[in-house]
Amino acid sequence: MKKFWHSVMAAALVLTFLSAAGASEKKLTVGLVVKEPTAPYIQAFMKAAEEKAGELGVNLLIRDGEGDSIKIMDIIDTYMAQGIDAFILGGAVDLRALVPGIRRLNEAKIPVAALDTSPEGGIVDFFLSFDLVQSSAKAAELFVEGIKKRNGGTVPAGVVLEILGDKADMFSHACTEGFDSVLSKYPQLEIAQGEGKWNNTDSHAVVSDLLTRFGNGVLGIYVQTPDIMGPGVVAAIEAAGLNAADFGISGICIGPEGIDLIKKGKMLGAVAQPAYDAAALAVQYLVDKLRGNPVPQIGDTVVVEGALWSPAKVIRNPWADDGAFVVLQGPLVPQEVSPDDPRLWENMLTK
């Protein structure tokens, strides 16, 4: 039966508070591994996890896995030796290579949550993210509308640039799937791909090369994640003596950099990643599971009034061997939500 979770969550929060207040209860410890702690969205993960852990009265350990699966598995082993009660994966690159570490956690009956990307094996109790395919399709629709607006309501023949993150990354594959689901309707468009490698230096270089190659034939530039590649793309456009607003830059994941580009009119729009909310919910659900409180189940819909990520359907994780995927909503900025909205994590970081 489908459930609407807002009332259950409220009751769970009360139970969690009462449970945390029990003097005889062991203080729980959650271990978090992040991919790149200097990246703003990772900082949002850490801030949210720290604040939620403090609210719930649990310990939080944070280590940088540097996106390296071997290092992440070493950290998992260290965490297990330290006696963690739950584990959160806050991003990785090779989601298959680290599966043995996830399975060791499973064998030890340590619940697992994942943010950003899901391990491609093992049991992940809670994967919390927006739907990368659907969100990318939403951004691609905006991208095409931008092309139409700049060309008298039509989509002419020409070239569009798709700046990927990394072809080896599940995240990048999902983004391209969503993008292609929209762009495939316009066979007159040639898609030229380039890898920005999730950074501004490589995105600048690849866009510079593609603009040189295709010249005036470029109708638009789609950036999979403008938060960490958008500034490099804009810099390349401007270095070529062109106007970024003429390329309708769109994508998913905004970041402080993307908010700035939107406000300056250099980016058309993007779907906001619910980074802060995902990490806060991960800590909440893991602690609730450990304390025997209700947690979302596959088939539920989690509803919290006023939350940008709500409603969130809970489906089976399609990447892991088992577990729930809590599909958070991501609003389109600035079309659906103002870039100044205080609920955006980009604005929370400045508090």
pLDDT tens-digit map of 88-118: 999 988 899 999 999 999 999 999 999 989 9
Rounded Cα distance, 22 and 187, in Å: 63
79 and 46 within one domain: yes
Number of domains in the chain: 2
| pLDDT over 70 at 78, yes or no | yes
- Percent of the chain whose pLDDT exceeds 70: 93
252 domain residue, yes or no:
yes
- List the structure tokens of 286: 């893991």
DSSP secondary structure string, 28-95? PEEEEEES-TTSHHHHHHHHHHHHHHHHHT-EEEEEE-TT-HHHHHHHHHHHHHHT-SEEEEE--S-T
304 and 256 within one domain: no
258 and 153 within one domain: yes
137 and 78 within one domain: no
- List the structure tokens of 122: 């093992």
Rounded Cα distance, 3 and 337, in Å: 27
- Percent of the chain whose pLDDT exceeds 90: 87
pLDDT tens-digit map of 131-143: 999 999 999 999 9
Rounded Cα distance, 186 and 313, in Å: 31
pLDDT of residue 26: 82
The three-class DSSP label of residue 307 is coil
pLDDT tens-digit map of 211-265: 999 999 999 999 999 999 999 999 999 999 999 999 999 999 999 999 999 999 9
- Spatial neighbors of 239 by CB under 8 A, at least 6 apart, are 204, 208
93 and 51 within one domain: yes
Could you tell me how many helices (H) and strands (E) the chain has, helices first? 11, 14
Chain-wide mean pLDDT for the chain?
93
pLDDT of residue 114: 99
Host domain of residue 84: 29-121+274-329
- List the structure tokens of 327: 């599909």
12 domain residue, yes or no:
no
Q: 295 falls in which pLDDT band (50, 70, 90)?
A: very high
226 and 172 within one domain: yes
260 and 141 within one domain: yes
Q: 7 falls in which pLDDT band (50, 70, 90)?
A: very low
End position of a domain, from candidates 236, 251, 271: 271
pLDDT tens-digit map of 325-337: 999 999 999 999 9
9 domain residue, yes or no:
no
pLDDT tens-digit map of 9-59: 444 433 344 444 444 468 999 999 999 899 999 999 999 999 999 999 999
168 and 202 within one domain: yes
End position of a domain, from candidates 271, 301, 317: 271
For position 105, which CATH number holds?
Answer: 3.40.50.2300
First-to-final CA distance of the chain = 40
297 domain residue, yes or no:
yes
Question: Where on the phi/psi map is residue 114: left (φ > 0), alpha (ψ -120 to 50), or beta?
Answer: beta
Residue labelled with tokens 């260290």 = 78
User: Cα dist. 274→241, 270, 308, 331 in Å?
Assistant: 35, 12, 8, 9
| pLDDT over 80 at 183, yes or no | yes
262 and 153 within one domain: yes
194 and 177 within one domain: yes
Query: Does the global pTM surpass 0.85?
Result: yes
301 domain residue, yes or no:
yes
Residues 144-171 have a mean pLDDT of: 96
pLDDT of residue 170: 81
256 and 284 within one domain: no
193 domain residue, yes or no:
yes
pLDDT of residue 20: 43
108 and 200 within one domain: no
| pLDDT over 60 at 60, yes or no | yes
- List the structure tokens of 160: 């569009």
| 63 DSSP β-pair partners | 33
pLDDT of residue 25: 66
